[in-house]
Amino acid sequence: MSQCTDPVVGDILSSWRYDISGSSPAVRGDLEEHFAECRQCRNRLRLHRTIDVTLIGVATLSILAFLLAIAVIHQVEPLRTWAIALPMHRLSFAVTLQEIAVAGLFASVVAWLLIALMTPAPVFLSEVASAQARVMRNRGPRKIA
């Protein structure tokens, strides 16, 4: 693997998880210049953004799966009334599949929010969408009369 062209800047970037979105414009310009020059940091940035986008994608799919499960359980009467007995020390209680699905949905939404707040994935995705929109706008017809 190649070495970082400026180890001090590389160490700073790695401690920030290669997130420069909150940097001042002057510092951000310097860091973007470093990314342009340094192959190792550019590859690590790509890896970190891939992980972030994958995490938010998996959390989104999890939310959709639990919403589908809730819809199916709500429509099928035997599934709605089916319960699982959970023995706990001296207590025993029953949990329905619908309650389990709602708890899973809640956990998935919390995970999605944590990922969205703790990673720069939303900023990264909005920058990618803006770049794609500019490309599409440039490909379109010049002027419609």
pLDDT of residue 134: 75
Average pLDDT for residues 92-100, to the nearest whole number? 77
* Residues 6 or more apart in contact with residue 80 via CB below 8 angstroms: 73, 74, 96, 97, 98
Mind listing the pLDDT tens digit for each residue in 30-81? 777 777 888 887 888 888 888 888 999 999 999 999 999 999 988 887 776 7
At residue 120, the pLDDT reads: 76
Return the pLDDT at 18: 61
Q: Which two tokens stand for residue 97?
A: 């599949």
Q: Count H helices, E strands: the chain?
A: 6, 2
pLDDT-derived band of residue 17, with 50, 70 and 90 as boundaries?
low
Mean pLDDT of 6-34: 69
Quick one: pLDDT at residue 109? 97
∠ CA 75-76-79, rounded to 5°: 125
pLDDT at 87 exceeding the cut of 80: no
pTM of the entire predicted model: 0.68
Instruction: Summarize pLDDT for 97-145 with one digit per residue, the tens.
Output: 888 899 999 999 999 999 888 877 766 667 767 777 777 777 766 665 5
- DSSP character string of 89-133: TTEEEEEEHHHHHHHHHHHHHHHHHHHHHHSSHHHHHHHHHHHHH
| 20 contact partners, CB below 8 Å, separation of at least 6 | 13, 27, 28, 31, 32
10 Å Cβ neighbour count for 35? 19
